[in-house]
Structure 1
Amino acid sequence: MSKPNQQFKITFWGVRGSIPCPGAETVRYGGNTPCIAMEVGDKNLIFDGGTGLRVLGQSLLSRMPIEAHMFFTHTHWDHIQGFPFFTPAFIPGNQFHIYGTVAPNGATIKQRHNDQMLHPNFPVPLQIMQANLQFYDLEVGEVLHLEDVTIENAKLNHPGEAVGYRVSWQGLSAAYVTDTEHFPDRLDENVLHLAHNADLLIYDATYTDEEYHSKTSSKVSWGHSTWQEAVKVAKAANVKQLAIFHHDPLHNDEFLDQVHEQVSAAYPGAFVAKEKQCIDLMAVGHHKIEPQSGSNCVKM
């Protein structure tokens, strides 16, 4: 991650939910589980450590030494399973500040990362990582200031609890709201707070409304939302751009193409997130974003 002072760039390294699903049918949107990198001012931020974190780690090897702040929404497997394979964490000289809220059972973010790498789950312990790892327990609703970058969190509606984040810097903001289930009769005030007037809202739309309300395989109470609900939030919160995220592993590229057509028609500027897609919030413009991948940022 380079460090010019004037930047607010967001790169998707993992956009899939629940379980990695690599293969010919998911190659265009990607099969890695959640990981997003943000370069904000001179700060490097990473959100969640799914299998996309491994890919991000490989891209960082040419830019060491690295200092980054890592924020976890929660520690279900799909959001942490890339952390033990994050190569920069094994290399002395790198520094990572790792944040998360305390779990309902009292486990700290450090305890949960430590437990993931204990026998019989993993062959080597957390302590084998040679980078400087510093762990911080966040309070729900806490506002964190990293110099001129502000990171807020709010509780989401998800089994086992999760938080969403909002990053603000020099009048720009991005909201990362994944692993949340909408309420049947109202919009979630916490989600609206995080998304209010955001330049980009990244939202958990694992299902379609049809799947969510299926009479044969209902997804009610599974902890996830739909792209139709994402549009409702985006309109109510007056967001500039909407990224559909946390794709169901059963949704192949053709299915997500259809979702993209539908959501972009329903909300101009909405798109379905792809791995390695980059959004540059500093760029000026309000034209429609088409999903792209590669190293170049999509200009807003």
Structure 2
Amino acid sequence: MSRIENQFTVHFWGVRGSIPCPGPHTVRYGGNTPCVEMRVGGRRLIFDGGTGLHVLGQSLLPNMPIEAHVFFTHSHWDHMQGFPFFSPGFVKGNTFHIYGAIAPDGSTIEQRLNDQMLHPNFPVPLQIMQANLDFYDVISGRPIHIHDIIIETAPLNHPGEAVGYRVNWRGGAVAYITDTEHYSDRLDENALRLARNADILIYDCTYTDEEYNSPIQPKIGWGHSTWQEGVKIARSANVKTLVIFHHDPSHDDEFLDRVGQEAAQKFPSAIMAREGMVVQVPVPVPLSESFPIRKFSTYRLQSEQL
């Protein structure tokens, strides 16, 4: 078994919420909307298809044919607007298994991806994609098994509904919890269950508490949480590393620098999601492997540029 088949890594291609916001003031953290790739035991899992999916797609072109599993939390524009520009989807020989929950109106993820590519919204239909696209309905609360990878699911508190995911593989775990709004009187039980003892929690930290409760323009009911609530979830769930994610488009690099500093004071292993960041999840190495075995008694984090 190769080293790649023994690795569990998380790659951030889009970390911004709501709308893309490229420009000189968002260079360091990035302006693309959500797309997170996990490479788990040689398999490729992709979470959400915001504009970051286009960047990921361009990086995959030299490595075709590609097979990947694509999981959508929901179908708001910022989480699916990159799909029509996902170049590998137009190439015959590639295979993508696409997962999403049925919406409150009864539409499937296939229908919603199809609808966004119809006239007058887009020049070519979904059917022009030449890759093999297999669609699956996600039922929140039911796990998804992909070989030896177990993906847990749970409903999130978001207008129009959303699904949170937890990826489990060989003792390592990553929770992907966005978009969701915290409750004022308690911690979200679904978020806590997905995040329990996770090596990495990627959490919707769109706002600060001050913005969320602003007397001028409160964000209550908008479907997003704060970094302070993310810290509460991380502490209660015994999370090793909290990744602050889904940055508000109005938050420039300097603002996010301050958030990162304040969050690290409250939760020392909190880090800010950045485009191009790679985080490695420590997993035990099988005794049969020929390279040296390392014991992971404490969490170790590696970040690097793609």
- Which category of TM-score, normalised to the shorter sequence, fits these structures? over 0.9
Q: Which residue of 2 aligns with 1:273?
A: 273
Instruction: Report the 3-state secondary structure (helix = DSSP H, G, I; strand = E; otherwise coil) of the residue aligned with 1:59.
Output: helix
Cα-to-partner distance string for 1:188-234 (whole Å, 9 max, x where unaligned): 00000000000000000000000000000000000000000000000
Superposition map of 1:198-213 within 5 A:
198-213=198-213
The 1-side partners of 2:151 and 2:194 are apart by 10
Cα-to-partner distance string for 1:137-190 (whole Å, 9 max, x where unaligned): 111111111110001110000000001000000000000001100000000000
Asked if 1 retains the 8 angstrom alpha-carbon contact of 2:282 and 2:300, the reply is no
Q: Which residue of 1 aligns with 2:22?
A: 22
Q: Which residue of 1 aligns with 2:154?
A: 154
The 1-side partners of 2:221 and 2:300 are apart by 33
The one-letter code sitting in structure 2 at the alignment partner of 1:188 is: D
Asked if 1 retains the 8 angstrom alpha-carbon contact of 2:11 and 2:276, the reply is yes
Asked if 1 retains the 8 angstrom alpha-carbon contact of 2:281 and 2:301, the reply is no
- Tell me whether 1:79 sits opposite 2:72 in the alignment: no
Superposition map of 1:188-199 within 5 A:
188-199=188-199
Q: Which residue of 2 aligns with 1:70?
A: 70
Instruction: Report the 3-state secondary structure (helix = DSSP H, G, I; strand = E; otherwise coil) of the residue aligned with 2:184.
Output: coil
Distance 1:278 1:99, change over 3 A: same
Instruction: Report the 3-state secondary structure (helix = DSSP H, G, I; strand = E; otherwise coil) of the residue aligned with 2:6.
Output: coil
The one-letter code sitting in structure 2 at the alignment partner of 1:117 is: M
The 2-side partners of 1:282 and 1:59 are apart by 25
The one-letter code sitting in structure 1 at the alignment partner of 2:77 is: W
Which runs of 5 or more structure 1 residues have no equivalent in the other structure?
296-300
Q: Which residue of 1 aligns with 2:226?
A: 226
The TM-score, its normalising length taken from structure 1, stands at 0.95
Q: Which residue of 2 aligns with 1:294?
A: 305
Which runs of 5 or more structure 2 residues have no equivalent in the other structure?
284-295
- Tell me whether 1:165 sits opposite 2:165 in the alignment: yes
Distance 1:287 1:69, change over 3 A: closer
Asked if 2 retains the 8 angstrom alpha-carbon contact of 1:13 and 1:55, the reply is yes
Cα-to-partner distance string for 1:72-118 (whole Å, 9 max, x where unaligned): 00000000000000000000110000000000000001000000100
Instruction: Report the 3-state secondary structure (helix = DSSP H, G, I; strand = E; otherwise coil) of the residue aligned with 1:183.
Output: coil
Instruction: Report the 3-state secondary structure (helix = DSSP H, G, I; strand = E; otherwise coil) of the residue aligned with 2:4.
Output: coil
The 2-side partners of 1:143 and 1:119 are apart by 36
Distance 1:65 1:21, change over 3 A: same
Q: Which residue of 2 aligns with 1:6?
A: 6
The 2-side partners of 1:273 and 1:4 are apart by 23
The 2-side partners of 1:287 and 1:268 are apart by 13
Asked if 2 retains the 8 angstrom alpha-carbon contact of 1:94 and 1:132, the reply is yes
Asked if 2 retains the 8 angstrom alpha-carbon contact of 1:269 and 1:289, the reply is no
Q: Which residue of 1 aligns with 2:125?
A: 125
The 2-side partners of 1:29 and 1:285 are apart by 31
**Runs of 4+, deviation exceeding 6 Å:** none
Asked if 2 retains the 8 angstrom alpha-carbon contact of 1:270 and 1:289, the reply is no
Q: Which residue of 1 aligns with 2:289?
A: none
The 2-side partners of 1:262 and 1:289 are apart by 20
1:7: how far off? Answer: 0.8
The one-letter code sitting in structure 1 at the alignment partner of 2:137 is: D
Asked if 1 retains the 8 angstrom alpha-carbon contact of 2:9 and 2:281, the reply is yes
Aligned length: 293
CA RMSD, 1 decimal: 1.5
- Tell me whether 1:112 sits opposite 2:123 in the alignment: no
The 1-side partners of 2:183 and 2:169 are apart by 30
The 2-side partners of 1:126 and 1:3 are apart by 36
Q: Percent identity?
A: 64
Distance 1:262 1:285, change over 3 A: farther
Q: Which residue of 2 aligns with 1:298?
A: none
